[in-house]
């Protein structure tokens, strides 16, 4: 349960965070933050006052502030929708980095996205500070390492998440890189958001070629035009797709191979089946809220392959070598990729199903964390 406080002073406070490898939390006037993991005792500090989200019931304006990253912002979407509805908030704003605002506005026009620099304007109401909230799971010493990041948001905001709405409404015509009526395509993310979430380039290339040899086309996804490569049945779309293009292409793919990174969460929005490579994290912390879980969602636990346990990005078991993402047996993991891909694709053929939209996805018992 979150231990929420609000900064009622006119000063900015920098508070150190316990047991994390990330920056201190910067608390501006009127900011709300979780004091559970703050290193100093603020209970008797006159600058801070205990806060409950119930105070926001019926509020005119409320702002949720989260600067980074795209995947974390996508995970906030279904929570923000329920938060707004359950608290009966008239105008809910999401303040974020300038580079995300335009894209998110186009994808989710039912929510108001603003640049973080504008949040000091009083018309945006109370600001709920979400930076460093999700990062609490990068620990071996608190319960959040066992909780899905969507649920971390939900607990912090005291919001019931029995229904999750991942849907989007795009305001432009995305580019398609294949004929979805004729081509059977597997999407492949080339890199994650950092070393802890990125597979060796040699393995990724071998995997793409191996899948292409089975007759499927492989759509390569990356923002860098220099990262792609050409081969038979491989569609090199690197550097050629916006976030909106990626979602539209994923809608028509049979499956997406992702790391624990942004493309995984875009697959939630697109309701595209996924196989995700997990090193420091585990399936129940990342995959159980995908709209197609569990039938068309699989995780590959790379930590198990190297005889390690998920460390939640603390790197305690390998002294920073990140063995789970680098030093696995390529052939064994590639075999597992094909096995899991067959499970998803054969299930699709057997049931003769077509993908449906993800609006109003209701969480089943199997998708609740801890079950």
Q: Model's pTM, two decimal places?
A: 0.86
Helix (H) / strand (E) containing 303: helix 302-305
Residue 313: predicted pLDDT:
77
Residue 362: predicted pLDDT:
61
DSSP string, 140-172: SSSGGGGS-HHHHHHHHTT---SEE------SS
- d(CA 204, CA 237) in angstroms, rounded, equals 15
DSSP string, 17-50: BTT-SSPPEEE-TTEEEE-TTBSS--TT-TTEEE
Q: What residue ranges of the chain have pLDDT lower than 50?
A: 354-359, 364-371
Nearest by Cα to 240 from 262, 218, 261, 225: 225
Torsions phi, psi for 183 (to 5 deg): -100, 135
In sequence order, the β-bridge partners of residue 131 are none
- d(CA 309, CA 332) in angstroms, rounded, equals 18
- d(CA 300, CA 252) in angstroms, rounded, equals 23
- d(CA 3, CA 10) in angstroms, rounded, equals 21
Residue 226 burial (C-beta neighbours within 10 Å; 0-12, 13-18, 19+): exposed
Residue 19: predicted pLDDT:
56
CATH class of the structural domain 185-365: alpha beta
User: Using one digit for the tens of pLDDT, what is the confidence trace for 101-147?
Assistant: 999 999 999 999 999 877 667 788 888 888 878 877 777 777 777 78
Q: Where are the domains of the chain?
A: 4-161, 185-365
User: Using one digit for the tens of pLDDT, what is the confidence trace for 238-267?
Assistant: 999 999 999 999 999 999 999 989 999 999
């Amino acid at each position: 349960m979150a231990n929420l406080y609000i900064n009622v002073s006119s000063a900015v406070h920098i508070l150190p965070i316990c047991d994390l490898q990330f920056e201190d939390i910067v608390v501006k006037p009127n900011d709300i933050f979780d004091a559970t993991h703050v290193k100093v005792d603020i209970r008797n500090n006159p600058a801070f006052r205990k806060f409950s989200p119930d105070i926001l019931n019926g509020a005119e304006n409320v702002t949720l502030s989260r600067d980074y990253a795209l995947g974390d912002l996508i995970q906030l979407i279904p929570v923000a929708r329920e938060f707004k509805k359950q608290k009966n908030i008239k105008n809910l704003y999401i303040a974020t980095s300038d580079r995300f605002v335009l894209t998110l506005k186009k994808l989710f026009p039912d929510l108001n996205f603003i640049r973080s620099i504008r949040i000091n304007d009083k018309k945006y109401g109370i600001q709920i500070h979400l930076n460093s909230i999700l990062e609490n799971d990068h620990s071996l010493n608190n319960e959040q390492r066992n909780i899905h990041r969507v649920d971390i948001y939900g607990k912090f905001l005291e919001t019931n998440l029995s229904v999750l709405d991942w849907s989007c409404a795009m305001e432009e015509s995305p580019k398609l890189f294949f004929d979805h009526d004729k081509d059977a395509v597997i999407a492949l993310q080339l890199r994650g958001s950092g070393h802890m979430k990125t597979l060796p380039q040699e393995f990724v290339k071998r995997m793409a070629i191996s899948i292409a040899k089975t007759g499927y086309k492989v759509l390569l996804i990356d923002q860098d035009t220099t990262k792609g490569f050409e081969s038979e049945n491989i569609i090199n779309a690197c550097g050629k797709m916006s976030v909106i293009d990626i979602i539209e292409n994923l809608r028509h793919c049979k499956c997406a191979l992702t790391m624990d990174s942004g493309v995984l969460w875009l697959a939630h929005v697109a309701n595209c089946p996924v196989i995700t490579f997990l090193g420091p994290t585990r399936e129940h912390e990342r995959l159980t809220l995908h709209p197609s879980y569990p039938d068309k969602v699989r995780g590959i636990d790379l930590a198990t392959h190297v005889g390690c346990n998920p460390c939640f990005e603390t790197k305690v078991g390998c002294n920073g070598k990140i063995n789970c993402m680098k030093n696995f047996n390529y052939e064994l993991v590639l075999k597992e990729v094909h096995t899991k891909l067959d499970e998803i694709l054969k299930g699709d053929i057997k049931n003769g199903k077509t993908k449906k939209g993800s609006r109003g996805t209701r969480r089943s018992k199997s998708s609740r964390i801890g079950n």
